[in-house]
Structure 1
Amino acid sequence: MNVLNFMQSFFSDGSHWHGYDGIPQRVWEHLQYSAAALVIAAAIGLPIGLVTGHTGRGGNALAFVSAGARALPTFGLLVLMFVWLGLGILPVMIPLVVLAIPPVLITTYEAIRSVDPSPVDAARGMGMAEGKILLQVEVPAALPLILSGLRSAAIQIVSTATIAAYVSLGGVGRYIVDGLYQRDYEKVVGGAALIAVLALLVLVLFWAVGRVAVSPGVRRRRAA
């Protein structure tokens, strides 16, 4: 059987759409892990990227830390956390958050640094506080790039959250891990297809958020 036949057999099997091992349940678990990791990574990466980008200090340190985080093997970190912390969601969250912080952090920093200095200088000349300059002048102009960093992190998380299945948790990765163990390649292909679909949905979601959150003027300038 080829890949398309495996996919058709998997998705046409009614037993895969019900129960604790059904597609809706596994997708919901996968989205929960992914959303939690993205929120934590954004809570860490966005403030640091915004402040360092605004002040212009610490760029080299950010690049060094981000490069080090990217060099860490996700699966190896998962195994280390599992040995250290045991079963549970925490050994999964740590590698996913470590994976997601660099694109959020570096892209946010570069986005703020790339803002046209003219409106920033004008805001300072009017006596606007630094916090207001950051939030009301720089962030709106940098929002497309900031969202691109969050989008990259979200796609990486969704694609990598399959590792949860290796420590007996759920998610779409359950189909891949169980399918390989059982030599049930319909499950393996079906799980891989679901992950690809989820990644595409993330792209669509961030496109929609960008259309709503980014001002038309900023979009026109970027298009030009």
Structure 2
Amino acid sequence: MDLPSSPLGELDPQFEKLGLEVAAFTFGLPGTSVREKLLQTVTLDICRAHLGLAFRMHVTAATMHGLTYAELLAAIRFVAPYSGYPAAADALARLTEIAFETGMDTSDLGEQPGPCAVNDAVARPDIADEWTAEFVDWQLSRAWSEDLLSRRERAIMALTSDVGQQDLDESLRRHVELALDAGLSADDVRDVIRFCAEYGIGRAAAALRALDDVLVG
């Protein structure tokens, strides 16, 4: 697959070589498509506040592989409840800068979908506090109405956010269930988490241990 590695080469040719070798491992995982992996990179960049060179390269790669400006905006909005809205707002500002700098086509913006009711498939974690439960219901309603992204893609991104945020208890379990319901196999789910090793091997290893507990439970 094509990845924009040249910015790394201008900084350090050896690091560019390392980056390409890492990408050969992560993008070679068979459980998800290139598009899904690129949505994972965007998710992890937002959750980990990596909005510099890495985010620019990942946005560029995403557009090279067919993701539109509107879909990238939808991805940021979807991630917002999981990353936190301030982190998503920073990503939105950075995306608009990159779009301007690179001449990205931004003419594909149509009427955006409104929020829908939360259903059982995206049920929130158990929250005893009434105000917080209502707030989370609203956030998830809005996020899961982003129909420019498939249900499978949203499940992958939600699971990816758990790795980035290290939400490895109830949230991970629910998102694993969502991913399986969306058509991923257990091996596919494992590949989703393996892909995150590029963002820190310790985080991915901890998430894989948590996944094992979910799958045997």
TM-score bucket (shorter structure):
under 0.3
| TM-score for the superposition, normalised by structure 2 | 0.27
Higher helix share: 1
Bigger radius of gyration, 1 or 2? Answer: 1
Between the two structures, name the one with larger relative contact order (CA 8 Å, sep ≥ 6).
Answer: 1
| TM-score for the superposition, normalised by structure 1 | 0.26
